[in-house]
Structure formats: structure tokens, C-alpha cells
Structure 1
């Protein structure tokens, strides 16, 4: 492995590690309401729920936004990047989901800029012109560091799914070994969704996870809550 490849891998593993301080542990993406409502009761129902969120909902859409943002940033197309960032910011189904992705995006950018700053990063951040949601943040930071797009999308979706499983583990609850089995069973869906996202246009964006969207909305008024979304 060349030095540049090793550096890219090191940074990607760091940025999308559970230890990177974006606050992902405090969000459940509506899973908390789904558990209370009885939609999720065990590992099998959690797997079915997460598969839908990944392949037909926010997971796929975030992968598309990341891919297009990274390409625009890498090409120096600031008007296109601004448009993609704006579209991604409004492409959320609930107030809490917007809070989740915008807060994680801001934290990702701030920490990356503080610890891993580079010449083009400030310019790319400024070109977005407003709130930078999580997939856009990952796209522009990885572009600034010239990290290849394909592993970024795969690592991003792995990180998203891992956090969903972590939330489910605390809520159902599930043991650590069962969580790893679940992550292993979701590997084909993550791989396939990453491939679709890499080849999708912005016209292919869309979600059909109505129950998950309702879960995110209803979580806002849930009486007892451990998570912020």
C-alpha cells in the first residue's frame, strides 16, 4: 500500500468510526418510537426495519447525496455543490430527522477542520452557503482529502447502519453478539445500496419508507425518550 493510500484509509476509518465525535449515539432515526409501538421487538424485526430504511429510505438517499457532493467538490463545481447541499438539507421527513443530520454534519465539519484541515476545505464549506447535513459533510471533507468515492460511500453506509443497530440494541434490547450477527446479515444490503447510490442521478432520489417517516415524526411527541430522534 502506498503512503497516500494508507493515509486515505487511516482518515476514512477515523472519520466514520463510532468514536468520531458527531454525537451519532444520541439519535435513533425514529427507531425508539418503532420499538415502543411494537414494530420492532427482536433482531428479526429490527433487521427488516433497517433493511427498508437502508434500501428504500434515508440510507439510499444519503448515499446519493454524498456521491454527488463529493463529485461536485472534487470538480470544483461550487454552484452544483451548493445546489446539492441545499437539496439534501430539505430532503428530510421530520424536524427531528433534520436536527439529526444537520447537527451531525456540523460536528463532522468542525472536528475535521480542527484536526484534519487542508487548503480547499474552508472554500468547499463556504460554497455550501448554509447548513451542511451529514452526507454532504462527509462528501466535501473526503473530496478535500482526495479520498476515492467508492470506499467513502461504503464506509458511510456501514457507519449509518452500525449506529442504527446500536440504537436498536439499547432499546429492544439485544446482546453484542446478536448485534454483530445482524450487522453481518445486513452486509449484502449495504453493499448493494452503495452500488446503487454510486450510479444514481439526483432524479433517482426517493423514499418509500412511510412507517419509518411516521416514526420520526411521532418521536417528537413521545412521552419517554432516551434519544433525540
Structure 2
């Protein structure tokens, strides 16, 4: 199922503080798709390119050293690690925003779940930067810009713009994994051909996890990717490094 098909399957009318929002289903203009591509583009000013999510230290320690080990690492993060938790937080925030709420509890929970100093910096700085840059598309803006985790910020704005949940989730997960793969291409190093092949391999898992996360609740939060958290903690004291996390 493609991102466009997923969005076209969501036809629910949503009322937010007296404003009716209809999830975008008219892809003749591709409005929702273009917005997601803009918000999650490497050029959007959130600084995503400067974070490796602990992968830099995993490469430094030899845990990731080729295409296959990187693929296994990312698969664990997506299905049972921090990226899965971000998907659950995204879904919960999207649902909360469609009900006219500000996602404050979910944002606080997401911040508390950051497993290290640099993971905290990674999600909070990106989320805050996203809200600061999103002004032209923030159709409601009931509260001033605040510090929120990255998935919460993207989910809130997606809901306010009528973008369907699974479409937003798929785009968010794709952007996160693409950023990590591009970082690893430089770190391992890998060729661009390997990077593209990895994105192709992650396509179906992204759609599967997006569908699963869309039906999740906060009780589904949890990670068993402990080694990734350890790498993120050890990265804080790595002598020479390229990335901020």
C-alpha cells in the first residue's frame, strides 16, 4: 500500500475547536504529499543531518561495518526500538491533536523516554525547530511554540493540516531512516548504491510499521534495542566525532 493510497482511505471529518478539518483525499493536486515532502525534506531547517542516533559510535566500535549490519541495526530500531516508540508517540499525538488538544502529556512522556543526554537533545531540538519553521502551514496555532519531541511536533501539524495518520507516519518513518542511512553512508563508509538499496529494502517494513503504529496506543511503547541506547550514551564521550548524537 502506497502513502497516497493510505491517505485516500482516510475520509473522517475532524472537528478541532470549532474548525472542521477533512483529511486530504484529493490527490489530484497532491497537496498532502507535497507538504509531507517539504516538511520532511533534508532541506527543512530542523538540523536532522547533524544527528546519527548513536550510529556513529556503533560504527566506531565495529558493530556496524557494512550494508548488512546497518540493515539489521535499522530493522531493530524500527520494529522494537526508539523508532518504533517515535511511531507510537506520533500516532497518539495525531489522535490527540484531532480532538483539539495540545499533546502536552504525550510530549512530556516522549521527552522522559529519551534514553541519553544526546538522544534528548536530538528529539527536543528537532521538534522545537520544526514548530518554529512550520508557521506558514500551522492552520490553527492555539498555543505558542513550545519544546516538544520531534515525532509529536510533526504529528500535531499533520493532524492540523488534515493529513491522514498512516500517510504522515509513513513519511515520518521514511525521513528518519533515510537520514540515518545517509549518515551511515559517510561513516562506514558505504557507497550510494548501497544506501539506495537499503532504502528499497526498508520500504515495506516502513509501511507495515506505519499501519501497526496507527492502531497502537501508549501502552505499546517499549524498546528492546538496548545496545542502541548504550551506543548513544557512549557517543557523548567519543573523542573525535562528526555527528551531535
Q: Give the TM-score normalised by the residue count of structure 1.
A: 0.92
State whether residues 124 and 140 of structure 1, in contact with CA within 8 Å, keep that contact through their aligned partners in structure 2. no
Give aligned pairs, total. 221
1:75-86 residue pairs with structure 2 within 5 A?
Answer: 75-78=99-102, 81-86=103-108
- Which residue, out of 57, 62, 70, partners 2:94? 70
Q: Hey, what does 2:69 align to over in structure 1?
A: 45
Cα displacement (A) at 1:4: 8.5
1:19-168 residue pairs with structure 2 within 5 A?
Answer: 19-78=43-102, 81-113=103-135, 115-118=136-139, 120-121=140-141, 123=142, 130-168=146-184
1:178-189 residue pairs with structure 2 within 5 A?
Answer: 178-189=194-205
Gaps of 5+ in 1: none
Distance 1:125 1:71, change over 3 A: farther
| Larger RCO: 1 or 2 (CA < 8 Å, sep 6+) | 1
Gaps of 5+ in 2: 1-24
In 2, the alpha carbon distance for the partners of 1:178 and 1:86 equals 37
Structure having the larger proportion of residues in helix: 1
In 1, the alpha carbon distance for the partners of 2:55 and 2:85 equals 18
Distance 1:207 1:14, change over 3 A: same
Segments of 4+ moved more than 3 angstroms: 1-5
Distance 1:12 1:169, change over 3 A: same
Q: Hey, what does 1:9 align to over in structure 2?
A: 33
Q: Hey, what does 2:21 align to over in structure 1?
A: none
State the Cα deviation string for residues 117-161 of structure 1 (Å, max 9, x = none).
Answer: 32x12x1556xxx52110010011111211111100000000000
In 1, the alpha carbon distance for the partners of 2:119 and 2:163 equals 28
In 1, the alpha carbon distance for the partners of 2:31 and 2:200 equals 27
In 1, the alpha carbon distance for the partners of 2:231 and 2:177 equals 17
State whether residues 125 and 140 of structure 1, in contact with CA within 8 Å, keep that contact through their aligned partners in structure 2. no
In 2, the alpha carbon distance for the partners of 1:225 and 1:196 equals 35
Q: Give the TM-score normalised by the residue count of structure 2.
A: 0.86
In 2, the alpha carbon distance for the partners of 1:66 and 1:124 equals 19
1:225 aligns with 2:241: yes
